[in-house]
Amino acid sequence: MKTCKSLRIAAVALALVAGVGSGYAKKSNPADDAKFLDNLMSKMTLDEKIGQLNLLPGNDVVSGELPGARLEPLIKEGKLGAFLNVQGIDNISRLQHLAVEQSRLGIPLLAGADVIHGYQTVFPIPLALSCSWDSDAVERMARISAKEATADGINWNYSPMVDICRDPRWGRIAEGSGEDPYLGCILAAAYVRGYQGDNLKADSTVMACVKHYALYGAAEGGRDYNTVDMSRERMFNYYMPPYRAAVDAGVESLMTSFNLVNGQHATAAHWLIEDILRRDWGFKGMIVTDYGSISELTPMGVAEESEAAANTLKAGTDMDMCTSRFLKDLKGALERGLITEEMIDKACRRVLEAKQKLGLFENPYLYGSPERVAKDDYTPANRAAARDIAAETFVLLRNEGSLLPLAKKGKIALIGPLADAGNQMCGTWAPNCRPDTHQSLLSALREEVGDRAEVIYAQGSNIYYDEKMQENATRWNPIYHRGDNETLRTEALAAAEKADVIVAAVGETMSMSGESASRADITIPDAQRDLLKDLAATGKPVVLVLFTGRPLVLDWESKNIPAILNVWFGGSEAGKAICDVIFGDKVPSAKLTTTFPQMIGQIPLYYNHLPPSHPDTDPEHFNIYRSNYIDVSNDPLYPFGYGLSYTTFAYGKPSLSSNELTMDGKITLSVDVTNTGNYDGTEIVQFYLRDPVARIARPVKELKGFRRLDLKKGETATVTFDITPDMLKYYDADLKYVCDPGAFEAMVGPNSAAVQTLPFTLR
Ligand code: BGC
């Protein structure tokens, strides 16, 4: 039976190849690839071409149905080019077989998924990953994710998400790399390299999809899906670079965003897609809408319902995610003269090219193998990598009196609603993870200390006092029973009473960040904040292990809790990784990639801001007629680039090889950094530039380089950063990419607010 089936598959595959072009045997020759597609397209009906532009979800099941069952008739008719959100190798492979064996032309399908920080092995959320400032770690995580996802049959991944965000209220800040374009570019390229590898036709690499183009992270008020309105100068200097970096790194597909950009919908904005992305940046890959976007053009006021699909195609978008509007409307739009057949052909060809690049025409069953699932998914090696990488992402925000690391002895009270919540560890977008197998912090801690210390546990509080608020906060993954507020408090205090040291595991649940999880109040939820206050009032030393998908306002905590370790959502191995750091087996090195405000009202607050009129020169006091607030200084609570270690680092006096830079020259900044503390450690040395006077105002500083520097105790190393005129360029008011001769400043330091500055001149 098995033999018959595989023979049949081979025969179908052969027929497919034979039927569509004899030149296909020489598949490595691009000219032959083109001929293959010419042949294939010459056989396609208009309906089949439009069918290739249609992407639908397979998780839309009614009870008793197989996942993706509703897609089956469309697949057979050649009316589906791709599906998303079908889980499991059997389901994915069933649909692929249907397309290859039972549709007229046997064109294989793209199998899409959101694998944004791991598949079964889950790594920290992308915002956390960015705090490692470690592009090798990001590439490694993407490589492992690709290997695991392709084992299940996934060949198209909706990642990386590279939206710059300056507003921590936005829940999706968790999915990106923070507020800085320079770091954002480096990490965007690392994700793409990791997913796509050197050979997209390998069975373990996956087509990446950079998203969400464009500017989705600048939603007004940090409210998801809200309007974006932005000057072109801001757009090109700060928000666009990471998308472009992904394009330059060879990303093969791109997703448009849900938002308006200056009154146009990003999904149907010709200037964004055809002019900037394809013409100016030379993007050759395939473009897909975000989920349901075409249907939103009318309610958002930019297209008549009957023209939404046509406008989207006309703008250069190739594939419709989840509205079926291309399928329903494009033929009519062609008849009405709204679009041309050439537009449909172009889009269809780009979809087929993507399939060709993935090797699907050579072997439609390349991706997905039960043997690989068994061999490659959730392996000890992958999990060990996740644990190592997680420890690199935890940011030590405070450590008074070197409270951390803790000794594995005495009585440790672990208190808080996130202490025994293994299923919360992964954070947003981890649909393929195995939450039931994730160790909670409590279980990891107990295992880690064995009988050397006593661990006393109490849940301590609810997430929120209010039941409805807690329901909103746990909608993806409800965690535990709701206790009576007073009883929980009593239990917490009893546990604290017995302990030598308290570890408080509090913060956001995983459903409180990510898509559709914006918050107007970004403090620690009320019940947990009160718990912290009660614990601090015991006078016992308290370590706050903070779970969060975004920067939080920690004004009270930063003054009253002696040690704060921000662990974000660390992924499937977070429990052990947190123990590695709190007991000092690993020394924290991460630094923030987003600014933490003192107060919500300071938002947007970001380090690379423009100089205001009436600058505030005395942050300690309120002064009238200054650009400031009456009730809070302009300073952040924790600036961009900030993070402590268990050891300390001292920076020497930096120097420049010359204080004159010529237009074709290079100068070098050098600085000595010494590990002056008691642990070996890693310092992230940061290098910033400023152009004090230019054709348009330039930021007070911009990150232009960094090094992750491993230093043994007592060791000194010299770190150098080359400065070239290219690094001084920016987009002016005419969007010309220029640099101007004149005075500049170079800065180096451990974070954006603690730099030493050296002037130089560009001649
Ligand atoms: C999100 C995308 C995601 C898509 C498919 C949308 O709601 O905005 O980021 O890739 O769904 O799951």
**Order of strands across the sheet that contains 681-690:** 660-661, 756-762, 742-749, 681-690, 702-711
- For the CA of 85, the nearest atom of ligand 1: 12
Residue nearest to atom 5 of ligand 1 (CA): 291
Confidence at 308, pLDDT banded by 50, 70, 90: very high
On the question of pLDDT at 582 being above 70, the answer is yes
pLDDT tens digits, one per residue of 529-549? 999 999 999 999 999 999 999
Confidence at 323, pLDDT banded by 50, 70, 90: very high
| 712-to-407, 589, 649, 683, 703 alpha-carbon distances in Å | 21, 13, 11, 11, 26
Burial bucket for residue 737 (CB in 10 Å: 0-12, 13-18, 19+): exposed
Q: Rounded to the nearest whole angstrom, what is the distance from the C-alpha of residue 295 to the centroid of ligand 1?
A: 15
pLDDT tens digits, one per residue of 350-379? 999 999 999 999 999 999 999 999 999 999
Residue nearest to atom 12 of ligand 1 (CA): 114
| 36-to-26, 40, 82, 343, 349 alpha-carbon distances in Å | 10, 6, 20, 20, 11
Ligand 1, from 83, 86, 87, 114: best to mutate by most atoms within 8 Å of Cβ?
114
- Report the C-alpha gap between 483 and 460 in whole angstroms: 9
Neighbours of 708 (CB within 10 A): 17
- Report the C-alpha gap between 79 and 105 in whole angstroms: 11
Residue nearest to atom 10 of ligand 1 (CA): 158
pTM equals 0.96
Q: Rounded to the nearest whole angstrom, what is the distance from the C-alpha of residue 290 to the centroid of ligand 1?
A: 6
Buried residues in 336-362 as b, exposed as e (16+ CB within 10 A): eebbeeebbeebbbbbbbbbbbbbbbe
- For the CA of 322, the nearest atom of ligand 1: 5
Place of tokens 């002895």: 409
What's the Rg (C-alpha) of the chain?
27
Neighbours of 33 (CB within 10 A): 19
On the question of pLDDT at 13 being above 90, the answer is no
pLDDT tens digits, one per residue of 167-185? 999 999 999 999 999 999 9
- For the CA of 161, the nearest atom of ligand 1: 9
User: What pLDDT does residue 479 have?
Assistant: 67
Q: Which of 33, 180, 290, 329 is catalytic?
A: 290
On the question of pLDDT at 77 being above 60, the answer is yes
Q: Rounded to the nearest whole angstrom, what is the distance from the C-alpha of residue 159 to the centroid of ligand 1?
A: 10
Ligand 1, from 87, 158, 170, 210: best to mutate by most atoms within 8 Å of Cβ?
158
| 358-to-190, 351, 393, 642 alpha-carbon distances in Å | 19, 11, 32, 41
Residue nearest to atom 7 of ligand 1 (CA): 291
Q: Does 290 qualify as catalytic in the annotation?
A: yes
Residue nearest to atom 6 of ligand 1 (CA): 291
Residue nearest to atom 2 of ligand 1 (CA): 290
- For the CA of 212, the nearest atom of ligand 1: 9
Q: Rounded to the nearest whole angstrom, what is the distance from the C-alpha of residue 515 to the centroid of ligand 1?
A: 8
User: What pLDDT does residue 481 have?
Assistant: 74
For β-strands 655-656 and 410-415, DSSP reports them as unpaired
- Are residues 524 and 484 in contact, defined by beta-carbon separation less than 8 angstroms? no
Confidence at 638, pLDDT banded by 50, 70, 90: very high
Phi, psi of 122 (to 5 degrees): -110, 135
Ligand 1 pocket residues where CB is under 6 Å: 84, 114, 158, 211, 290-291, 515
Q: Rounded to the nearest whole angstrom, what is the distance from the C-alpha of residue 470 to the centroid of ligand 1?
A: 25
- Report the C-alpha gap between 579 and 91 in whole angstroms: 38
On the question of pLDDT at 8 being above 60, the answer is no
On the question of pLDDT at 3 being above 90, the answer is no
DSSP letter for each residue of 638-677: B-TT--B-SS-EEE---EES-SEE-TT--EEEEEEEEE-S
Ligand 1, from 59, 290, 295, 321: best to mutate by most atoms within 8 Å of Cβ?
290
pLDDT tens digits, one per residue of 469-507? 998 888 877 666 789 999 999 999 999 999 999 999 999
Phi, psi of 643 (to 5 degrees): 175, 140
- Are residues 565 and 638 in contact, defined by beta-carbon separation less than 8 angstroms? no
Q: Rounded to the nearest whole angstrom, what is the distance from the C-alpha of residue 55 to the centroid of ligand 1?
A: 12
The mean pLDDT of the chain is: 95
User: What pLDDT does residue 19 have?
Assistant: 38
- Report the C-alpha gap between 676 and 536 in whole angstroms: 31
- For the CA of 175, the nearest atom of ligand 1: 9
Name, in order, each residue with C-beta under 8 angstroms of 492's C-beta and a sequence gap of 6 or more. Answer: 415, 458, 459, 460, 461, 531, 534, 535
- Are residues 120 and 433 in contact, defined by beta-carbon separation less than 8 angstroms? yes
Q: Rounded to the nearest whole angstrom, what is the distance from the C-alpha of residue 455 to the centroid of ligand 1?
A: 41
- Report the C-alpha gap between 287 and 267 in whole angstroms: 9
pLDDT tens digits, one per residue of 85-125? 999 999 999 999 999 999 999 999 999 999 999 999 999 99
Section 703-720 average pLDDT: 98
- For the CA of 209, the nearest atom of ligand 1: 10
